Amino acid sequence: MVKKEIYLFGTVIAILMFSQWIISKTLNPYLFMILMYCGINIILGVSLNIINGLTGQFSIGHAGFMAIGGYVSAAFSFYFFAPWISAMGLPFWLQTVGAHFFFLISLFLGGLTAAGFGYVVGLPSLHLRGDYLGIVTLGFGEIIRVLILNLDVIGGARGFTGIPSWSNFFWVYFFVVCVVLLSFRLVRSYHGRALLAIRENEIAAEAMGINITAYKVKAFMLSSFFAGIAGGLFAHYIGYLNPSSFTFIKSFEAIVIVVLGGMGSISGAVLAALITTILPEALRPLQEVTRLDFRMVIYPLLLLTLMLTRPQGILGTKEIGDVLPFLKRKSR
C-alpha cells in the first residue's frame, strides 16, 4: 500500500518534470501565465474547501493567509536565500539547484507562518458559529493587509519588488498534486470523518466524543498552510507583491471557487478554479469585437446563471468520479 503510493508519487513527479520541460519550450508567456494562475487558484480553492466545504465553517479571510505566506516567503528569499546563493559564488548549475532548494524552504516557512496565524486567529474565533466566524476572518484579512501596507521592510504601499522568480510549472503543480491528494485522503480518513461530522451537526459531533474546537482549529491551520504556499508560489512567479492584491475580493474569489464547485467537493473546487481562471481570459477576444470591456459583465452573468440553475454548485457534494464513473479507480 505504502509502496504503491511511493510509486504513484514518483510517477507524478516524473510527469511534472517532463511537462515542465515541454512547457518551457513550447508555451508562450501569456498561456503560461494562465496555466500558473490556474494552479495557484486550484491550491487556494482546494485548501479553502477544507475549512469551508469539509468542516462547514465560513471563513472569508483566505487572502490574508495567502498574503502572509507570500510576504514571508518572499522576504526570506529576498533578504536571505537569494543573497546567500549569489555570495557563495557557485557554478551556474549549482546555483539553480540551490534556488530550487531554498525556494522550497521559503515556501514552507511562508506556509508555516500562515498556519501559525491560522492557529492564533482560529483558537478564539472558532467557538463562533456561521456568520460570526465570517466577520472575524474578514476583519483578520483586512488587518493583515493594512499591516503590510505600513511595513516598510517589505515595500509597504509601494509593493515588494525584486523577489527572485523561482516559481515554475513544476513547483506550482507539485503543490496542486499535494493539496488535492491530501484532501482526498483526508476525506476518507478517521480525522476527515470527524470534520464532516462537524459540518453535518456540531452538537451531535460533540456527542460522539469529537473535540470540535480542536478539529476546527486543525482544519483551519491546514487550510491556512496551503493558502500560504499558494501565496509564496504567486510571489515568486510575478516577482512583485502589492498589498492591493490581497483585498477581501481575493478572499471572495476563493469562496466563489468553493461554492461554484460545490461545497465539500474537491474535484469540484479544481474544476471551478479552472473555470474562474480561464473564463475571463477566454472572453478577452470579445473585447476586440465589441470595442468595450464586456468581459466583466458576461463573466459574472455566467456565474449567476450557473448558481441559479445549480445552487449546489457544479458537482454538489459529489466528486468527479461519482459523476463520470470511468474516472474512478477500479480497485478500492
Partner 1 sequence: MSLLSVENLTVAYGAITALRNVSLVVDTKEIVTLIGANGAGKTTLLRTLSGLLQPSIGTIHFNGENLSGKSPHLIVRSGISCAPEGRGIFPNLSVEDNLELGAFIRKDSKGIQKDKDFAFTLFPILKERRRQWAGTLSGGEQQMLTISRALMARPKLLLLDEPSLGLAPQVMKQIFSVIQSINAEGTTILLVEQNANMALHIAHRAYVLETGRIVLTDKAQALLNHPDVKKAYLGT
- Judged by the rule CB under 8 A, the positions of this chain that interact with partner 1 are 193-194, 196-197, 199-201, 203-212, 317
Q: Which is nearer to partner 1, 129 or 284 (CB)?
A: 129
Rounded to a whole number of angstroms, the minimum distance from the CB of residue 50 to partner 1 is 17
For residue 199, the minimal CB distance to partner 1 (Å) is: 8
Question: b or e along 80-91 (b: 16 or more beta carbons within 10 Å of the residue's beta carbon)?
Answer: ebbeebeeeeee
Contacts of residue 75, Cβ cutoff 8 Å, sequence gap at least 6 = 153, 154, 160
Give me the amino acid identity at 260. Answer: L
Closer residue to partner 1 in complex, CB, 55/245: 55
State which residue, 56 or 118, has the beta carbon closest to partner 1.
56
Cβ atoms < 10 Å from Cβ of 27: 14
Q: Closest CB to partner 1 among 109 and 314? A: 314
Please, which residue, 99 or 205, has the CB nearer to partner 1?
Answer: 205
Residue type, 200: E
CB of 209 to partner 1, least distance (A): 4
Q: How far apart are CA 77 and CA 19, in angstroms?
A: 26
User: Which residue lies nearer to partner 1 by CB, 54 or 241?
Assistant: 54
Smallest distance, Å, CB 203 to partner 1? 6
**DSSP output for 275-287:** HHHHHHHHTHHHH
For 318, the grid coordinates are 459529489
Cell of 59: 471563513
Q: What are phi and psi of 100, to 5 degrees?
A: -60, -45
Distance CA 70, CA 73 (A): 6
**Minimum CB separation from partner 1 for residue 197, in Å?**
5
Task: Give the three cell numbers for residue 252.
Answer: 471572495
Q: Find out whether 198 and 174 touch, Cβ atoms under 8 Å.
A: no
Q: Cα–Cα distance between 84 and 74 in angstroms, integer?
A: 14
Which C-beta is closer to partner 1: that of 50 or that of 212? 212
Would you give the end-to-end CA distance of the chain in angstroms? 11
